[in-house]
Amino acid sequence: MRILVVEDNAALSAQLCTALGAAGFAVEAAPDGEEAQYLGETGSYDAVVLDLGLPKLDGISVLRRWRAAQRSMPVLILTARDGWMEKVAGLNAGADDYLAKPFAMAELVARLHALIRRAHGHAQPEIVCGPLRVDTVAQGVTLDGAPVRLTAMEYRLLACLAHQVGRPVSKSHLTEQLYAQDFDRDSNTLEVLVARLRRKLGDALIETVRGQGYRLAAPG
């Protein structure tokens, strides 16, 4: 899962990126509204954390431009504790949730997980695919009731497929979700990770869809 953090306070941005990275997300950061608008319109993100008081272009304007460009990723806005007008303006501009500063990182992570689940049609934190269960909060995986040990990258790939269970996910999209920055990406890594997951989960669960990518097979 890939998150865009838009925050001009360098210290808070670093804290957010560290906490979200520890929670299993691939994270990119933008320090101002202009860069945020560009990244949001050209990149693929599962959710965005958006501060409203940004230099160059304010957060409300950024959000409105994303929505006008048909960018539908969930957006969680950060507001001042007493900024009820900001909350209303943000929600009216297309935000999906808000969090008042100061906030607990654990709550931010939980809210992002919930937003991403709902965006993919999952009401519960656990995604079930036949004998496979993926706990998106605890980042735990079981197969036929037995825990499966995965590396952070293996889990990230499996979580991407699990959120789209039964539907093909392109290789380019999966590669984007695995890495925080463009320059980190290695086209061979995806195939290696898929092979490792198949060894741990069995070949039948992850299908290759010719010309489209990979799919976590839905039961039946």
pLDDT attached to residue 186:
61
pLDDT attached to residue 149:
94
Residue spans per domain, the chain: 2-119, 126-216
The mean pLDDT value for 28-51 works out to: 94
Domain 2-119 in CATH 3.40.630.10: no
Q: What's the residue count for the chain?
A: 220
The mean pLDDT value for 138-154 works out to: 90
- pLDDT category of residue 166 using cuts at 50, 70 and 90: confident
- pTM, rounded to two decimals: 0.72
**CATH among 1.20.58.340, 3.20.190.10, 1.10.10.10, 2.40.50.140 for 126-216:** 1.10.10.10
Q: Write down the mean pLDDT value for the chain.
A: 88
How far is the C-alpha of 151 from the C-alpha of 156, rounded, in Å?
9
The mean pLDDT value for 24-45 works out to: 93
The mean pLDDT value for 165-171 works out to: 88
